[in-house]
Structure 1
Amino acid sequence: MRIECPAELLLGLHVNIERLAEMVKLEAAVALFKKGKISSGMAAKWLDMPRAVFLVQAMEQGAALLEDSADDFRRETRLL
């Protein structure tokens, strides 16, 4: 995937292009997870990190681990 990025953005964020790509990928994974489009396991695999690490980062950005529904509970406990 290719995203155009002005040099001013990199300078303003104090990151290189590789770090910006990692940041955008994490933000996209968290957003898709929060919307219920991908699972935490799929997001973690995409980001090449342990699922628990992804969940902590997602929750720091306001994601809920469970929506308190029976379906969510069964899905999450099935993975244990």
Structure 2
Amino acid sequence: MKTLTLQLPDTVDEKDIKMQVATSLFEKGVLSSGQAAELVGITKREFLETAGNYGVSIFGETTEDIEKIMNE
């Protein structure tokens, strides 16, 4: 396991940054949903329920795919 240390201003929401990184790595297939949840420090269920708020489909479709289907 690798460790990454970031220095962020106090005004930055740490959980939000972790979710952005975790959802991006999950979407690219680098992390499983369980690994992504662990990175954020939340349950797998909470990660899966929250991923959509970051534009990530837990079903493999991109945001563009879903928008295209909805506009047909």
TM-score by length of 1: 0.57
Q: For structure 2, which runs of at least 5 residues remain unmatched after alignment? A: 62-72
The reply on whether 1:59 has 2:63 as its aligned counterpart is no
TM-score normalised to the size of structure 2? 0.62
Off by >3 Å, runs of 4+ in structure 1: none
Compute the RMSD of aligned alpha carbons. Answer: 2.2
**How far is the alpha carbon of 1:20 from its aligned partner?**
2.3
2:24 is equivalent to residue 31 of structure 1:
yes
Indicate the percent of aligned positions where both proteins have the same amino acid. 26
User: Can you give the 5+ residue segments of structure 1 that lack an aligned partner in the other structure?
Assistant: 6-16, 69-80
Number of aligned pairs? 57
* Matched residue, 2:7: 3
Distance 1:3 1:62, change over 3 A: same
